[in-house]
Structure 1
Amino acid sequence: MPDLVTPSTDLHAAWLDCHHEWGPGRHEDGFGVRETDDVVSEAGFAAYVTRLVDQADPAQAEAMGRMPCSYRWIVEDGQVLGGIALRHELSAKTEPLGHVGYGVRPSARGRGVATWALGAILAEARTLGLDRVVAVCDVDNAASARVIEHHGGRLEGIRDTEHGTVRRHVIGL
């Protein structure tokens, strides 16, 4: 059974294994990786993890010029299976992305990992006091749409964004 864990430098090798399986790109949603992040070196990875952890704190997120966001890694038996992020609120910039972004490495797909992780992060959303969560996925990602719909996501519409055409769902909490 997987766990949702706060990003940690202890998982550097396992995280890199996941990252290498995927290859870099937007499909790594949930990890908060920026093109400028050095995730290979220990020092660079430590800085990346610190940024992710700090962003969950509203005061620190504001100091970074970012919206608060909780990042969690999906870990099972010491292996990083994917990541999921929960934006605590939406701004004009994050609204097209929704509250939740997630991704599961190819070798872990088809086992219900994303469905489980979304359910777990929705519990965190409730503790933050959110009454609804917006979740988007690429218009052609039927598997992700099923994950969202499993948790009560109602299709609000299909939109063109700077990231491509997405399905926008709202999950009532």
Structure 2
Amino acid sequence: MSRTIRLLPPSVSRTDAYLECVADFAGASMDGSGIVDPREAPVTGAAVAELVAARLAEEDPATVLAQGWVHCTSRWIVDAGTDEMLGFIATRHRLTPYLLEQGGHIGYSVRPSARRQGVAFAALELALADAEELGIDPVLITCDEDNHGSRRTIEKAGGRLEDIREGKRRYWIGDGRRQQA
């Protein structure tokens, strides 16, 4: 089964859907959500509002970010038919040395109950179009070496494996000049 999805900016109007989505992850990693430690995921409306404000500020090039952080476009993956929140995807506007090695330009995760339905591929295709609009070419995407679902998704989207570093498979999509470590 394949779903039609949309990528929407984080919004407090979707707080209930956000909290339901986070609960589905049950403490597992939520790549692309902006949450480094899943145990610190917002559980109240006020905390979600803070997260939304932070994610939207990170997108604005005028925002001064903490050392080591880069501007990033965060989107929530939403089912176009049901409006259910299905996951997260984020496009980092440039690479730091760490992102070049481990994180890449795009990070994403799909809630467990929505996996194996084409959601990750559809979201990645939309995020790649957004990356192109931002002038990011080529795009680096990484996944854990043992994450076979993400590996298939990235390869289906045209990812070409460059190498594996510290347990991360590093793929490039696009023909532009690659940033070097």
Give the distance between the partners of 2:41 and 2:53, measured in 1 at CA: 13
Checking the alignment, whether the CA contact within 8 Å between 2:143 and 2:168 is kept in structure 1 is yes
Give the distance between the partners of 2:92 and 2:65, measured in 1 at CA: 16
Give the distance between the partners of 1:92 and 1:4, measured in 2 at CA: 28
Residue of structure 1 aligned with 2:127, choices 98, 121, 128 = 121
AA in 2 matched with 1:78: D
Identity %: 41
Residue of structure 1 aligned with 2:10, choices 7, 10, 22 = 7
AA in 2 matched with 1:56: E
Aligned equivalent of 2:77: 74
Give the distance between the partners of 1:89 and 1:73, measured in 2 at CA: 20
Aligned equivalent of 2:26: 23
2:115 counterpart of 1:109: yes
Give the distance between the partners of 1:42 and 1:131, measured in 2 at CA: 37
Give the distance between the partners of 1:170 and 1:107, measured in 2 at CA: 28
Within 5 Å, give how 1:1-173 maps onto structure 2: 1-26=4-29, 28-35=30-37, 37=40, 39-60=42-63, 62-65=64-67, 66-76=69-79, 77-95=82-100, 96-160=102-166, 165-172=167-174
- 1:41-89 per-residue CA deviation (whole Å, 9 max, x = no partner) reads 22211111100011011221x3444210000010112211011010010
Checking the alignment, whether the CA contact within 8 Å between 1:72 and 1:83 is kept in structure 2 is yes
Aligned length: 167
- 1:90-145 per-residue CA deviation (whole Å, 9 max, x = no partner) reads 01232220001000011111111000000000000000111110000010111111
AA in 2 matched with 1:106: P
**Structure 2, gaps ≥5 residues long:** 176-181
Moved over 2 A (4+): 34-38, 62-66
**TM-score (structure 2 length as normaliser):** 0.87
**Larger relative strand fraction:** 1
Q: CA RMSD for the aligned pairs?
A: 1.5
Give the distance between the partners of 1:136 and 1:47, measured in 2 at CA: 28
Q: Report deviation, 1:25.
A: 3.5
